Structure 1
Amino acid sequence: MAQDEWSQVDAYLVGKLLPEDEALEAALARNRQEGLPPIDVSPAQGKLLYLLARLVGARNVLEIGTLGGYSTIWLARATPTDGRVVTLEFSPDHAQVARENIAAAGEGSKVDLRVGPALDLLPVLEKEGAVFDFVFVDADKANNQLYLGWALRLARVGAVVVIDNVVRGGRVLDAASADPDIVGTRRMFELASAEKRWNATAIQTVGAKGWDGFAIGIVEKA
């Protein structure tokens, strides 16, 4: 019953606070049609990312994990007309779907989609001198510790870093787990606990995507 109720509440909130959006709905439909895993952020979560990026005045956004570009569209919409979203996607097939979705939403001019392992692409961004105002991490959880480290290297002081899926249905408590997603998430929290540059908290969430949560923090000087 809990999941049914969470989904119903999500639907109610979305119905009241998020107007119908053909581009975003078409993106999700294309993702399903192309067989992408149904792991996009929910509409309510996408709107939250949009609002957070707006609140920080983000002009340059880094997204680690594009999937089909649903969250990318939300983030691109949050930036000004001369803003930029650099989004990193491991799968060429997923990246192609994302390109189609982003172009159909009219955000192609703002989005720099790069294909390959994020841990190979992030050093390239550093060499290019990229600095970001907002970072969203939603990729393979096994590398969350490394992604947080890179986010802090590439973000300006005052930037916001958000890491998704950090509760894992409560399984984050399992210190004996051999699941790479749990191991990587727990290592991320160990780093966050010791990292003076990231003033962070984490919030549990329930909704259409089940029981999970996200970590969020501001980048500060050491």
Structure 2
Amino acid sequence: MKESTTYMYATETLGANVSQYSESVSLKLPQPLLEYHARIYKDRDDSNYMISTFEAQALIFLSRLLGAKRVLEVGVYVGYSAMIWSHAIGPQGKVTGLEFSEEYAQLAREAAKENGYENIEIHVGPAAETLPTLANPPEPYDIVFLDADKTGYPGYLNKILELSAPGAKNRLVRPGGIIIADNALRRGLVADSSSDNPWRPADFENAWEKQAVTALREYNEIAAENPRLETFLIPLWDGVHLIRLLD
């Protein structure tokens, strides 16, 4: 039987070159969004909260493959990924964002307005509290994108499933809809948090990082064991976890 192991590239330089080449021959992003991404990366110390341009290409491809028109994003940051979703689904679609920080939400709104993305709506507050307010939407969402606090992922998944009950007249996510979780491998720590992992922090056992890793493992396991869900975990970027809601 053919091995399942994905052998990554022998050197960081080779890996970077392969990624850059792959990105260069993938679908093109709008220049204003590339410029916005570059500006945030350059100017902000917390820019690691933002998805990469390469991952953005993958999300656009996936949403168009699904024919998605309604996207729910949990964790908006400064709006780059929300604008990516808006670009993917077109002006007739709808992007709903949940963001804890009023500062981030305002920056995201300003960026969307500046770049002409008018179909993005952002709700401010803890996602655990704002998610239930979206119950009984006029139309269910095609995609949910989780990119918020990692310790909240299991709770978010459980709430999303609760609000998408089989046979319900109004449900949050449609049958066959997709739930995408970013950072599901957390620098590989979710799969291997031993000292063999060079990304393991020196104070891992006592750090918030361990709580995040524990929660992500729980999220991955909940999804894998739920008969309503079909899952696929992609070991790209920081780990992209795909869930298809079967019912």
Percentage of identical aligned residues? 31
Cα deviations by residue, 1:115-173 (Å, 9 ceiling, x for unpaired): 11111110111155662111111111101111122333321101111111111122113
Once the 2 structures are TM-superposed, how far is the Cα of residue 193 of structure 1 from its aligned partner?
2.4
Once the 2 structures are TM-superposed, how far is the Cα of residue 36 of structure 1 from its aligned partner?
3.7
Distance 1:123 1:28 in 2: 31
Residue 191 of structure 1 is matched in structure 2 by: 222
Among 64, 76, 90, which residue is 1:66 paired with? 76
User: What is the DSSP-based 3-state SS (H/G/I as helix, E as strand, rest coil) of the residue aligned with 1:215?
Assistant: strand
Distance 2:151 2:35 in 1: 30
Residue 133 of structure 1 is matched in structure 2 by: 142
* Larger Rg computed on CA atoms: 2
Once the 2 structures are TM-superposed, how far is the Cα of residue 8 of structure 1 from its aligned partner?
3.0
Distance 2:193 2:23 in 1: 35
Contact 1:145 1:187 in 2 (8 A): yes
Amino acid at match of 1:119: A
Residue 123 of structure 2 is matched in structure 1 by: 114
**Kindly tell me: are residues 66 and 3 of structure 1, through their superposed partners in 2, closer, same or farther at Cα, counting changes over 3 Å?**
farther
Contact 1:27 1:68 in 2 (8 A): no
Once the 2 structures are TM-superposed, how far is the Cα of residue 220 of structure 1 from its aligned partner?
1.2
Once the two structures are superposed, the pairs formed by residues 111-190 of structure 1 within 5 Å of their partners are 111-126=120-135, 128=137, 131-152=140-161, 153=163, 154-173=172-191, 179-190=210-221
Distance 1:72 1:164 in 2: 14
Residue 100 of structure 1 is matched in structure 2 by: 110
**Kindly tell me: are residues 93 and 3 of structure 1, through their superposed partners in 2, closer, same or farther at Cα, counting changes over 3 Å?**
farther
Cα deviations by residue, 1:79-129 (Å, 9 ceiling, x for unpaired): 24321000111111111221122122211x210111111111101111556
Could you say what the CA RMSD is over the residues aligned between the two structures, in angstroms?
2.2
**Kindly tell me: are residues 3 and 142 of structure 1, through their superposed partners in 2, closer, same or farther at Cα, counting changes over 3 Å?**
farther
Amino acid at match of 1:162: I
Distance 2:46 2:36 in 1: 11
User: What is the DSSP-based 3-state SS (H/G/I as helix, E as strand, rest coil) of the residue aligned with 1:149?
Assistant: helix
Greater relative contact order (Cα 8 A, min sep 6): structure 1 or 2? 1
Residue 63 of structure 2 is matched in structure 1 by: 53
Contact 2:102 2:124 in 1 (8 A): yes
User: What is the DSSP-based 3-state SS (H/G/I as helix, E as strand, rest coil) of the residue aligned with 1:157?
Assistant: strand
Once the 2 structures are TM-superposed, how far is the Cα of residue 51 of structure 1 from its aligned partner?
1.3
More strand by share: 1
Alignment size in residue pairs: 215
**Kindly tell me: are residues 21 and 80 of structure 1, through their superposed partners in 2, closer, same or farther at Cα, counting changes over 3 Å?**
closer
Q: TM-score, normalised by structure 1?
A: 0.87
Runs of 4+ in 1 over 6 A off after TM superposition: none
Residue 97 of structure 2 is matched in structure 1 by: 87
**Kindly tell me: are residues 127 and 18 of structure 1, through their superposed partners in 2, closer, same or farther at Cα, counting changes over 3 Å?**
closer
**Kindly tell me: are residues 186 and 132 of structure 1, through their superposed partners in 2, closer, same or farther at Cα, counting changes over 3 Å?**
same
